[in-house]
Structure 1
Amino acid sequence: MRKLLLYVLLLLLPTTTFAGSDTEQLRQKLDKLLAHRNSLINAKNKDIKRLKRYLTTNGNAINHLQTYEQLYEEYYVFQFDSAMTYLDKGIQLSQQIKNSYYYNTNVIRKAELLSIGGLYSEAVNEIEQVDTTLLDRPQRFEYYFSLFRIYTYWADFCNDKTYTPTYRERAKNYLTKAMPYCDETAKSYEYYCGEYAVFVLNNHMEARAHYLKAIKQLPSSSRYYAMACFALSGNYGSEGDTEKQEEYLLLSSIGDMENCTMENFALQNLAMYIFEHNKDELDRAQQYIQTALEDARFYNNRLRIIEISSKLPAIVSSYQQTLNQRNKVQMTAIIVISLLLLFLLFAVVYIVKQTKRLSLQQQKLQLNNNQLSNLNTQQKQLNTQLNDLNALLVDTNRKRERLAKLYIDLCAKYIARLKKQQTLVKRKIKANQTTELLSQLSSERLSEEDAATFLSRFDKAFLDLYPDFTEELNNLLLPDGKIQNKSNDGLTTEQRIMALIRLGVKESSEIADLLFYSPQTIYNYRSVLKGKAVNKETFEEEVMTLCRVIGKSNTN
């Protein structure tokens, strides 16, 4: 009946407001988690039992210390006494085997845990046992950051003008010492930077930027994610942005629920926020503060129990008053509902029409989104093609550089040979050995060496530039006329002739000079190849169109 009344009252509003729908979804998610609280706790206990079974199956001391550490992590914000138990076991075992690393780690964590339980002086005494000279960088950070938390909790507990400023100043100094040892690669780094910005720099805008970065980088299942959200709620709340304050309180509470964090602060703050800003949902506030109290008892945090107990009566009293008022409203609503039935009918028709209009708008929006998605896909394809072309251009430039080097090498070689030959000629003429000179210059061996060198380098350069040339040339020939290469690194005479034509050398006399053949021989080769072509009349024109795009080289 109460829900029906609320629905009717919503219909009486002149316009429908959808603002805060995200916040409402977060509320629903939190309520679902609260409804399945026992299942989450049971799953947590199963993980813990699995770790405990591992202790009974392995007698290695280091493995035991590692398992104690894992059990502490599971119990840290889940159950105070159990977390303390495994810290003490870790301290005792590390002393027995004289392992300073695990001893210092467990002592530091025990000190912080004592401060959570309100034992501040005991926490300071405990952490003073640590020999800081034996700490590595992560331990140094944990050491100073634990001291920061101890004095922060102590300052919050005192809440006076005498001790609180002193403890806050100590906390600030320890946080300043901790930050140089903070791992900048860790996902929690931005959270720690936010803490530094708040407590040391007193810069709330910078802190907000760090916390926002932290929640983007951290998984929502992380405890640091919940802590960053809680810090953001306070950040926005200090500026009067109550919507953001509630949103991040909800996110922090959801994170605590998912992690089975019994030592939580967000849920009770959320209850007080609802109590102060939304009197219409006092039943929700009462449920949250009651759950926070149960969690504090489960965790066995005496200070948190006292703190929540001081807030609970005000919420319960207001909740009871609200229930009485609602009962009166329900009686009145029974009479009003009968008068509103006709209006309700018109309202339903109006809502249906509005829903259809919204549906059409959503369909149009979906169509526009699909078109935009297609355009984005096309743009990505074009970008990919552009990148491929750029890479191809870079590869082409590299090949041209190699061709230039090859050209320079050949020129240098033939200049050196000409110099050597010039020296030889001068010497022979001076020695009146013209006959021997003429015989030496007429030797075919020299010409064959030059030809072999040129042709080998020509083949290498051309195939480097056009690696697919032989395959594309064979595509222009009939099946029984295709040219078979004896070597992957060289060209046949027919392929060299076609390669020169591809490069723009068309005259048989020029080709003959370059390949050390007679023009008639070159003409004969060209005629034979035309006879084997698929299109005889346009064969050489087609050769000149081969390899329009320079392929990527197989060598660097």
Structure 2
Amino acid sequence: MKKNLLSVIIFLLIAPSCYPQALRSDKILTTLKSELEKEHLYDLNKEKRIKQLRNELDHTDIKNFNNRYALCGRIFEEYHSFKFDSAFVYVRKMITLSEKFNQPENLIKSKILLGSTLLNSGFYKEAFDIVTTINVNGLSDSLKSDYLNLCARLNAGIGDYDNDAYFSKIYRQRSDQDFKSAEITTPSNDFEKTINLAFQPDSVRDKKLTPNFYYNFITGRGLSQHKIAMVATRLSFAYTGDDRILFLALAAINDVRSSTKETLAIFLLGQELFQLNRTDDAYIMMQHAVKNARFYGARNREVQIESILPLVAGKVIDQKQHERDKLLIGFLIFLIVAVILVFVLVVYRRQMQRIKSNERVIKEINNELKSINGKLLESSRIKEEFIGLFFKTCSSYIETLDKVKRRAQHNIKLGKYNDANIVLEKVQIDKEKAQLYDTLDTMFLTLFPNFVTSFNALLKTEDQIWPKTGEMLNATLRIFALVRLGVSELETIAKILDYSVSTVYTYKNRVKVKALVPAEDFERKIMEIKFIDDLQSINTSS
């Protein structure tokens, strides 16, 4: 133990002087792209190995537990990070063999492997069910550590999946406790301790523990490709920017070479590149990440990637369009400059008459621009008046329906039941109101698609107001939607929504009291919620 620790210390001291400066992320990304082009060759080699193992299993005596269990284990290891459904089949065979030949330790080991496989594919409930069947009493330290690490990963995975302020916190606390228990059961070795040093604060971390040191540390120890990928992925969380890209790209390269499809590295690499505005590379990585997730059968990872991939693709398209626009602008500038030069030569040759002619042209263009601006202002004013007229007309229509209803009731009192029935059958006030509100909600959310999210950002989490399933806006949100449209008078809002003035007043004050901003500033903040055009421009620029 002391010799091993001494060798690690010597390695820490001499490594910085023996290795060159940190590799550039661009160089390793080029290597990764090259490896991605050869991905199918690595997959063919893996499938060839699996075929040989399966053939060997088919010719093994069914009564020979050790050989059959070992072969199933080797096939499972090949499939474990390659294809979920096949890995599931062979780990189930390992469980069946262990039960058939009464091998309790192998049975527990196989169940732990099954739980890990289910976790990788997002079957959290089923993985929890497997964990509950394992009796930890009497387990060896190694198996107990594997069991605790599985529980920790499972709690961390379900916490990330829930992404909830309350429940996720509970699951992450359980995960931390399980990891600590696993560490107590089987303490980290010298290699793991060296890796853990990377996560110390900068003020404490040894200056010799550079990204370049760790890069050479994990690639120069004869680790398997899959092990390098796992360690590099973990190290990536200790760094940011180009250093993180370095480790994630290293992990992705080794994942490709080992035909690992259940991989987190290339997805995280795509995210990091996207955050650094390297969208072309990010899009390539995200495409491979979603392809791997589909091939393996990692449903949770596939959903996670597909929620981000459209954002990356959209930004790639925007950048390509921006580049085309810059090229076009450059060409137009060149053309304008050329025209100006020709124009100057003509001016000198034709003297003042040409200048006066151009002045008249400019004046005509300015007049046309003024005319166009006037039309735009007029058009804008017409739209504003139209929206106001729309809401007033709808409100008036509801009042008319209400009057018709009263006439019908009057006919009933006079005994004119047939006339009353005819009138009443035509009146569906609730339906008309619902249609009006649906029209209001639809129109408003078309203009302000981010309104509900922006509105709730002004409130504490526990006070936030979200529409129920099937709703677009509820009563409170609808009141403030009208405020955002410029309808500020309580009487007008009450009339449109068929509330009393006091009800509208109560709704508004109830929200303002709970707001994160001063009550007098709340409506101003509501008015600052972006219109759809502003929102799109913000998304494009970001």
TM-score (norm 2): 0.52
Aligned positions of 1:118-517 closer than 5 A: 118-182=122-186, 212=214, 215=218, 218-219=221-222, 221-237=224-240, 242-278=241-277, 281-329=278-326
Structure 1 CA distance for aligned equivalents of residues 305 and 105 of structure 2: 38
Q: Is the contact between residue 23 and residue 246 of structure 2 (CA under 8 Å) also seen in structure 1?
A: no
Q: Which residue of 1 aligns with 2:108?
A: 104
Provide, for residues 334-383 of structure 1, a one-character-per-residue CA deviation record: whole Å limited to 9, x for no partner. Answer: 8999xxxxxxxxxxxxxxxxxxxxxxxxxxxxxxxxxxxxxxxxxxxxxx
Q: Which residue of 2 aligns with 1:66?
A: 70
SS in 2 for 1:133: coil
Structure 2 CA distance for aligned equivalents of residues 295 and 223 of structure 1: 15
Structure 2 CA distance for aligned equivalents of residues 181 and 43 of structure 1: 38
Provide, for residues 143-190 of structure 1, a one-character-per-residue CA deviation record: whole Å limited to 9, x for no partner. Answer: 111111111111111122111111111111111111133375685675
Q: Which residue of 2 aligns with 1:56?
A: 58
Provide, for residues 475-531 of structure 1, a one-character-per-residue CA deviation record: whole Å limited to 9, x for no partner. Answer: xxxxxxxxxxxxxxxxxxxxxxxxxxxxxxxxxxxxxxxxxxxxxxxxxxxxxxxxx
Q: Which residue of 1 aligns with 2:49?
A: 47
Structure 1 residues 185, 168: CA separation in 2 closer, same or farther (over 3 Å shift)?
A: closer
Indicate the structure (1 or 2) with the bigger Cα radius of gyration.
1
Q: Is the contact between residue 187 and residue 218 of structure 1 (CA under 8 Å) also seen in structure 2?
A: no
Note the residue ranges of structure 1 that are not aligned, 5 or more in a row.
Answer: 1-18, 338-556
Structure 1 residues 166, 183: CA separation in 2 closer, same or farther (over 3 Å shift)?
A: closer
Structure 2 CA distance for aligned equivalents of residues 139 and 170 of structure 1: 19
Q: Which letter does structure 2 place at the counterpart of 1:27?
A: L
Structure 2 CA distance for aligned equivalents of residues 152 and 210 of structure 1: 28
Structure 1 residues 121, 142: CA separation in 2 closer, same or farther (over 3 Å shift)?
A: same
Provide, for residues 113-139 of structure 1, a one-character-per-residue CA deviation record: whole Å limited to 9, x for no partner. Answer: 222222223212212222223422221
1:223: how far off? 2.2
Structure 2 CA distance for aligned equivalents of residues 251 and 316 of structure 1: 24
SS in 2 for 1:131: coil
Structure 1 residues 161, 204: CA separation in 2 closer, same or farther (over 3 Å shift)?
A: farther
Structure 1 CA distance for aligned equivalents of residues 192 and 225 of structure 2: 9
Q: Is the contact between residue 25 and residue 243 of structure 2 (CA under 8 Å) also seen in structure 1?
A: no
SS in 1 for 2:82: coil
Structure 2 CA distance for aligned equivalents of residues 31 and 324 of structure 1: 24
Q: Is the contact between residue 236 and residue 244 of structure 2 (CA under 8 Å) also seen in structure 1?
A: yes
Structure 2 CA distance for aligned equivalents of residues 143 and 209 of structure 1: 32
Q: Which letter does structure 2 place at the counterpart of 1:273?
A: E
Q: Which letter does structure 2 place at the counterpart of 1:227?
A: M
Structure 2 CA distance for aligned equivalents of residues 292 and 112 of structure 1: 20
Q: Which residue of 2 aligns with 1:417?
A: none
Q: Which residue of 1 aligns with 2:355?
A: none
Structure 1 residues 94, 222: CA separation in 2 closer, same or farther (over 3 Å shift)?
A: same
Structure 2 CA distance for aligned equivalents of residues 253 and 194 of structure 1: 23
1:42: how far off? 0.6
Q: Which residue of 2 aligns with 1:76?
A: 80
Structure 1 CA distance for aligned equivalents of residues 93 and 100 of structure 2: 11
Aligned positions of 1:512-531 closer than 5 A: none
1:24: how far off? 1.9
Structure 2 CA distance for aligned equivalents of residues 234 and 48 of structure 1: 33
Structure 2 CA distance for aligned equivalents of residues 181 and 103 of structure 1: 21
Q: Is the contact between residue 182 and residue 189 of structure 1 (CA under 8 Å) also seen in structure 2?
A: no
**Percent identity of the aligned residues?**
23
Number of equivalences: 308
Structure 2 CA distance for aligned equivalents of residues 236 and 139 of structure 1: 32
1:332: how far off? 7.1
Q: Which residue of 1 aligns with 2:510?
A: none
Q: Is the contact between residue 225 and residue 255 of structure 2 (CA under 8 Å) also seen in structure 1?
A: no
Provide, for residues 355-412 of structure 1, a one-character-per-residue CA deviation record: whole Å limited to 9, x for no partner. Answer: xxxxxxxxxxxxxxxxxxxxxxxxxxxxxxxxxxxxxxxxxxxxxxxxxxxxxxxxxx
1:246: how far off? 1.6
Structure 2 CA distance for aligned equivalents of residues 210 and 137 of structure 1: 34
Q: Which letter does structure 2 place at the counterpart of 1:231?
A: R
Q: Which residue of 1 aligns with 2:531?
A: none
Q: Which residue of 1 aligns with 2:34?
A: 32
